Amino acid sequence: MREVTRSRTADSATISEAVPATIDVRTIAPHQRHDQIFSSFNGLPQGGAMELVNDHDPAPLYRQFKSNFHGLFTWDYLEQGPELWRVRIGKAPGNCCGSCS
């Protein structure tokens, strides 16, 4: 269930990355969640990322990303439950079709 992934290690403090924006979907009405997530993703620059926080595995969201943005995103689980799920979703660099900003 991975698209393009990057593993995290205990040594990750040596990797310099911008801190991604965080979307805590637990605070968003269920019918607005996916629209807000996709809107935020579309606003990312190439190579940019956001962090998703949820109370369950966002596997259905992953499938939507794979269907709508196949090859254009990264999906890294940062925390995998059982009570909290965190995923870093990035806009893969170098795969721009030319219509994004």
Beta bridge partners of 79: 86
Within a domain: residue 66?
Answer: no
Range of weakest confidence among 28-37, 52-61, 69-78, 90-99: 90-99
pLDDT for residue 8:
42
Hey, is 39 helix, strand or coil? helix
Q: Which domain holds residue 47?
A: 19-53
Position 38 confidence tier, pLDDT thresholds 50, 70, 90: very high
Higher pLDDT, 16 or 23: 23
- Is 91 a member of any domain? no
Q: What is the pTM of this model?
A: 0.73
User: What is the number of domains present in the chain?
Assistant: 1
Domain membership flag for residue 10: no
In the numeric block, which tokens belong to residue 100? 């994004």
